Amino acid sequence: MPTISDIDKLAKQINWKKEWKINKKFMGNIFIDFRKKIVIENLPTENGQCKGVYTLSDGEVDKTFELYCGVSEKGDSTCRKRAMSHRRSVERFMTGSNVKDNESTGKKIVEYYKDKDYAILNVHYMDLDKYETLGLKLLAEANMIPALKGPLNDENKKNRKVA
């Protein structure tokens, strides 16, 4: 019978970046106009209706890369709901209305693009609903954050400086 030690060894053998590339699905994108302080999402309702790992990536560069990696794993949370939460966070931070302490991603995104007129964020997700192992979604997120190197994840700030 496998042990926790076996699980630890197996988790270390997984190529998390490769798993992301193979299993990610496109959810949609979020357009941000910093001059007009407008945020428009194109996140079709049927996309991301699951628990799993999701990313926000820079859609303005030739070689896209993940800016932020998060997880949807509790209650009625879904990857789409988490993406919509980040969208609202950006809008609230830009307009200064009802900014909550737990909405730091909006601030990070606005500051990351501080010298830009607009940004396009591509949103991807990995559906992990089919897996029943408790904590697997958190395990995937915890290992994908350093693998994907998103500069807006606090866990990566030691390794990378935010622009």
The domain segmentation of the chain, as residue ranges, is 15-151
CA distance 46 to 34: 28
Indicate the pLDDT class of residue 161, thresholds 50, 70 and 90.
very low
Confidence label for 112 from pLDDT (cuts 50, 70 and 90): very high
How far separated are the first and last CA of the chain, in Å rounded? 48
Alpha-carbon torsion 8, 76, 38, 124, what sign? positive
Mean per-residue pLDDT of the chain: 91
Nearest to 27 by CA among 12, 5, 46: 46
Please give the residue that has the higher pLDDT: either 62 or 91.
91
pLDDT above 90: residue 62: no
Burial 16-49 (b: 16+ CB within 10 A, else e): beebbeeebeebbbbebebeeeebebebeeebbe
Q: What is the mean pLDDT of residues 133-162?
A: 85
pTM summary value = 0.90
pLDDT band at 160 (very low <50, low <70, confident <90, very high): very low
Assign domain 15-151 to a CATH class: alpha beta
Report whether pLDDT(113) > 60: yes
Helix (H, G, I), strand (E, B) or coil at 44: coil
Q: Provide mean pLDDT across the span 147-155.
A: 93
Distance CA 120, CA 162 (A): 18
User: Which pairs from 84-90 meet CB under 8 Å and 24+ separation?
Assistant: 84/41, 84/43, 86/30, 86/56, 87/30, 87/39, 87/41, 87/43, 90/30, 90/32, 90/39
Alpha-helical segments (H) within 14-162: 16-23, 79-95, 104-112, 136-148
What average pLDDT score do residues 12-16 get?
Answer: 96
